[in-house]
Amino acid sequence: MSKLSVTGLVESPFGSKINSGDIKDTLCFFDDWEDRYRYIIDLGKELPPVPASCRTDENLIIGCQSQVWLICEYDEINNLLLIAVDSEAQIVKGLAAIVLSAFNKKSPQEVTAFNIEAFFTDIDLFSHLSSMRGNGLRAMVKKILHLAKHYS
């Protein structure tokens, strides 16, 4: 995989300053899905940009409706997965931010132990996504879980 420096991936607020519990609480605060979609899009705007040099076929997620690039680096010293995701579609960047809130800056063991499907159910995500977006989101999660198993 193309890699960024560990410090390049550390700058993301997802997984540390913004975690899955924060996102769940905020999404549950909104009464309708129009407001939730706006929040998800705003989350995507907080993702640090991925350099064009990392937008390679090797980092492309297969199965996503939009182009999505995922870069993962393993910090052996701290036993953490450092993940960056980028897409040209704002809603997809927001969905990626939700995934990163659960997986980024976590140990491979924490990533594989986290019940991401239950999290998605708790925030009622898949009932409000097209099947193509849902498949793409699952493809992103599958790749991260595969990498976590590789590093554990």
Catalytic residues: 64
**CA 9 – CA 3 distance, rounded (Å):** 9
Q: For the chain, what's the residue count?
A: 152
**CA 147 – CA 74 distance, rounded (Å):** 9
Identify residue 39 by its one-letter amino acid code: Y
Percentages (nearest 5) of helix, strand, coil residues in the chain:
55, 15, 30
DSSP 8-state secondary structure symbol assigned to residue 88: S
